[in-house]
A and B are shown apart, each in its own frame.
Chain A
C-alpha cells in the first residue's frame, strides 16, 4: 500500500490533520488500532450496538459530527484495527508496520512519503495499597468501556486521583446509572480556584461538568486521597483521607467508603514510542515539535497529546496545523493553516500549562506506597523489592528494572514507570521501547529475514 501522508491515530488530532491535508489535495491514509475512528475523546459505541443516542455519553458532539461527516465525504482512506508497531525511514519516505487487530498476528505495511503521529496518550495511575484488586480501574478506562461497550463496572463507584479527566468520568458513570459515592481530588480547593479561569478556558464543558456533579449529587472531596483499596478477590471499599498542606495524610481523617468500583487516575502521559524509534527528539516525556508541528526528523509531524497533554480541543487545533504543514511540504507550498486554529492553539496551550501547574501530584506521594504494594503490575514487583534494589545501589528506573524486573512485563513499564521513578526519587525518563506493540516473533523473522529474529 502506498500513500502520500500516513496519519497514525484517528483521535481529535489525527482526524483534524487528515481532513486538513486531504482538503489540500494530499493522498491521506488514516491508521488506527481501534475499530472506529474517534480516539479517546470521541470514542464511539461499537457499530453493532446500534446506539441511537451516542451523544448522551459525549461532550462536543457537534464537532464530532463535523469531523465524522467530513471524513465520510473526504478522500481519506481509513484503516481501522491496524496496530502500528514501528515506523521506519526508507530512502523514499517511510514504512508503517502494522499488525491487523484484534489478533495482531498478520502484518501489513504502508509506504508513505510523510508521517504524522497523532497517537495520543494513556493514563497515569499512582499505586496505592489494593490498586491491583479487580474493581479498581483507570478513570479513562471506565470511560472507554462505557463509551465503547456501553457497560459499567459496578453499582457504586468512587472516582479518585487528580486531574480534569475525573470530572467527565464521574458524571458519565452517574448518567449511566452508577451511584458515584464521591469524586476524590487531591488538589486543594484554593489551588483549583486560583486556576479556575484556565479550567474554564480549557474545558468549555467545565460548567457542564459542574452542573452534572450537582445534578447527580456527587460529593466532591478536594485535598483528599485514596489511602487503601479493600477487598479480598474484589474491591469492597476504599479508605480515603484528607491531605494536610504539607502533602501528608492528616491523621484521624481516614474514612471508609464502601464501593465495588474505584476509577482512579493521576493525569495522562503521551504515547511516544513510534516517534522515539524514528529518532524524534523528545521534550521531557512528549514529542518535541516546532510551530508547524514538525518534529526534528524531516517528513515527520506530530500533534495532539503525543506532543503534550492538553485535551481534545488543543489536539484538534494542533492536528489542523500539522495537516496543513504536511500538505504544504508535500506540495512545496506555504502551509496557511486557519488563523483560528493558530489562535486556539496559543490560548489552549496557555491554559493547558496553567492546568498542569494546578493539578500537581500530591507531595510525598511515593511515601504513601507501602512496601507490600505491588507497583509493577505485570511482573508483580512490590515497592519493598524496589526499595531494596535502591538500597543496593540502583539509582534510577533502568537499574531498578535490571535488579527487580519491574517494567519488563507485558505493558513495558507504561503502568509502573512513574511509580518506579518516584520511589527512586528521580524524574521519569522516556522508556525507549523499540516497538509500540508486542510483535509475534514470526512477523519479526519475516520482517528482517537476513538478520533473523532479534
Chain B
C-alpha cells in the first residue's frame, strides 16, 4: 500500500519538473517537498556555514529548513509551495544569493527580529 492508494487518490495527469537539471515527475496539487520526497530526494539545501544538507523538518512552514530555489527564486519553503508544470527546482547553496551571500536587490529581503 502506498499513500496515494490508501487515500484513493485519482489525480490528474502527472507532469514534469526538473530538480538540479534532471526530470522529476510531479502530481498536480503536491508541494515541491512532496514531489521531491516522492522522487526519493530528501535534501535540497546546503547550509550557509557548514554546507550541510537539509530538507523537510517540520513539514508545516515553521522551521525554514526546507528552503529551496524555484525558478530562480531562492528561499522558498518547499513544504508550502505548490509545484507547477515546468518548474525548475534547484538545490539552494547557503543564502541562495551566490557565493558572496549578498542580497539580490529585488526587495525580497525579509525583516526578522534580531534582538
Instruction: Give A contacts to B, CB under 8 Å.
Output: 33, 35, 40, 45-54, 56-57, 101-102, 105, 122-123, 132-138, 140-146, 148-154, 175-177, 233-234, 377-380, 402, 408-412, 414-415, 433-435, 438-442, 444, 453-454
Which residues of chain B have C-beta atoms less than 8 A from A138's C-beta? 57-59, 63
A-B pairs with beta carbons under 8 Å apart, 5 shown = A46-B31, A102-B81, A153-B42, A378-B64, A415-B63
Cβ of B23 within 8 Å of any chain A Cβ, yes or no, is no
Partner of A122, one of B55, B62, B110: B62
Asked if B61 contacts A33 (CB within 8 A), the reply is yes
Given that A102-B77, A175-B6 are contacting pairs, would A145 and B109 also be in contact in the complex, using a CB cutoff of 8 Å? no
Given that A140-B58, A149-B30, A377-B63 are contacting pairs, would A50 and B42 also be in contact in the complex, using a CB cutoff of 8 Å? no
1/0 contact trace for B25-64 toward A, CB 8 Å?
A: 0011111011001100011000111101111111111111
How many B residues have CB within 8 A of the partner chain?
56
Asked if A56 contacts B7 (CB within 8 A), the reply is yes
Partner of B58, one of A102, A154, A234, A415: A415
Asked if A45 contacts B7 (CB within 8 A), the reply is yes
Which residues of chain A have C-beta atoms less than 8 A from B109's C-beta? 440-441
Which residues of chain A have C-beta atoms less than 8 A from B111's C-beta? 435, 438-441, 444, 453-454
Asked if B37 contacts A380 (CB within 8 A), the reply is no
In chain B, what residue has the closest Cβ to A122? B62
Closest 9 CB pairs of A and B: A141-B59, A149-B34, A48-B29, A46-B29, A410-B64, A53-B8, A52-B8, A438-B110, A134-B43
Given that A140-B60, A141-B57, A141-B58 are contacting pairs, would A146 and B107 also be in contact in the complex, using a CB cutoff of 8 Å? no
**Complex CA–CA separation, A49 to B53 (angstroms):** 29
**Complex CA–CA separation, A454 to B112 (angstroms):** 10
Partner of B112, one of A102, A143, A177, A412: A412
Which residues of chain A have C-beta atoms less than 8 A from B77's C-beta? 102
Which residues of chain B have C-beta atoms less than 8 A from A132's C-beta? 52, 54
Most chain A CB within 10 A, of B47, B52, B56, B109, is at: B56
Q: Which of B63-85 contact A (CB under 8 A)?
A: 63-65, 67, 76-77, 79-82
1/0 contact trace for B77-115 toward A, CB 8 Å?
A: 101111000000000000000000000000111111111
Instruction: Quote the shortest CB–CB distance from A48 to chain B (angstroms).
Output: 3
1/0 contact trace for B1-25 toward A, CB 8 Å?
A: 1111011111110000000000000
**Complex CA–CA separation, A35 to B30 (angstroms):** 11
**Complex CA–CA separation, A444 to B60 (angstroms):** 24
Partner of A150, one of B4, B43, B58: B4
Asked if B6 contacts A233 (CB within 8 A), the reply is no
Asked if A134 contacts B79 (CB within 8 A), the reply is no
Which residues of chain A have C-beta atoms less than 8 A from B65's C-beta? 377-378
In chain B, what residue has the closest Cβ to A131? B57
In chain B, what residue has the closest Cβ to A174? B1
Asked if A135 contacts B114 (CB within 8 A), the reply is no
Instruction: Quote the shortest CB–CB distance from A360 to chain B (angstroms).
Output: 23
Asked if A438 contacts B112 (CB within 8 A), the reply is yes
Asked if A141 contacts B8 (CB within 8 A), the reply is no
Which residues of chain A have C-beta atoms less than 8 A from B113's C-beta? 412, 433-435
Asked if A49 contacts B9 (CB within 8 A), the reply is yes
**Complex CA–CA separation, A102 to B1 (angstroms):** 31
**Complex CA–CA separation, A92 to B61 (angstroms):** 32
Which residues of chain A have C-beta atoms less than 8 A from B7's C-beta? 45, 49, 51-54, 56-57, 150
Known interface pairs A150-B7, A440-B111; 15 further A-B residue pairs with C-beta atoms within 8 A, sorted by A's residue number: A53-B8, A57-B6, A102-B80, A123-B58, A137-B59, A140-B58, A141-B56, A151-B38, A153-B37, A175-B6, A377-B65, A410-B63, A441-B110, A442-B107, A442-B108
